[in-house]
Amino acid sequence: MYRLVIRREQPDFRLLAIPAQLRPGDPNPQQAAVIGGVVLQRGGSAVLEVRADRRDGFAGEIELSAEGLPPGVTCPGALLGGSGETVWLVFMASDQAALLVGNHHIAGKAKIGDRDVTRYARGGTCVWGTANRQQTPPVFRATRDLCLSVTDKFTAPVSVQAGDGQVVERPLGATFEVPVKVVRRGAFQGDVTLVAVAQPRTSNPRM
């Protein structure tokens, strides 16, 4: 059955948030899909992939933020540009973060015409993982909530912080530097290899 709808354009957007935890050693992490949620070790980090479904030509900026985070867990948020459809949110737990399992919300704020609107992300999760989406498609499903957990049984042996919290804006063809801070804990003293993923319109960085 097909349905024809004739109406005026109504620019808007919807958001979908999916855990995007990376597995060490993945040859192509952007093609992998991993079963799991947003699980944080003390001193560690986790990634949530947020996708925007832009409707009826909406091309405005979307300011993303995490609401309802517990003490000891932070997320700097992100800005999704007018042509962007996907962005990663990074969650970080302090060394003193308490044991927790709870829900949080991802809010996207934008200006549509003369209105300020807020849309909350729908949750999703991977139920069948893959190392290569092109060869073996993953399977996802919608979730009722966005769950986040902190474990106090383990402490991350190393953490990496890129940037100083400021937006880096440069013209095409320009070069720029991003400060990186590496913190080692316990007996870990090994080398750390950094790989940039999901960088917009940039060539391979030198690290």
What CATH code is carried by the domain that includes residue 33? 2.60.40
Q: Is residue 181 part of a domain?
A: no
Residue-range definition of the domain harbouring residue 30: 12-155
- Dihedral angle, C-alpha 106, 110, 116, 121, nearest 10 °: -30
Q: Please name the residues in contact with 34: beta carbons below 8 A apart, sequence gap of 6 or more.
A: 19, 20, 21, 22, 23, 126, 129
Q: State pLDDT tens for residues 120-159.
A: 999 988 888 787 888 888 888 888 888 888 988 888 888 8
Question: Judging by DSSP bridges, how do beta strands 115-120 and 86-93 pair with one another?
Answer: unpaired
Q: What is the C-alpha to C-alpha distance for residues 135 and 133, in angstroms, rounded to an integer?
A: 6
pLDDT tens digits, 18-33:
887 565 555 565 666 7
Is 20 among the domain residues?
yes
Residues whose CB is less than 8 angstroms from the CB of residue 195 and which lie 6 or more positions away in sequence, other chains included: 29
Contacts of 29 (CB under 8 A, 6+ apart): 22, 23, 195, 197
C-alpha 23/C-alpha 25 separation (Å) is 6
Prediction pTM value:
0.80
User: How many CB atoms are closer than 10 A to CB 75?
Assistant: 21
Which tokens belong to 150? 């902190």
Please say if the pLDDT value at position 62 is more than 70.
yes
Distance in angstroms (rounded) separating the CA atoms of residues 85 and 52: 5
Instruction: With a cut of 70, say whether residue 161 has pLDDT above it.
Output: yes
Domain count, the chain: 1
Whether residue 41 lies inside any domain: the answer is: yes
- Assess if residue 32 is contained within a domain: yes
What's the pLDDT score for residue 188?
A: 87
Q: Is residue 123 part of a domain?
A: yes
Count of Cβ atoms closer than 10 Å to residue 17 Cβ: 25
Can you give the length of the chain in residues? 207
Mean pLDDT of 7-14: 93
Share of the chain above pLDDT 70, in %: 88
Compare 195 and 81 and report the one with higher pLDDT: 81
CB 121 within 8 A of CB 146: yes
pLDDT interval class at 192 (50, 70, 90): confident
- Give the DSSP per-residue string, 26-65: -SSGGG-B----EEEEET-EEEEEEEEEEETT----EEEE
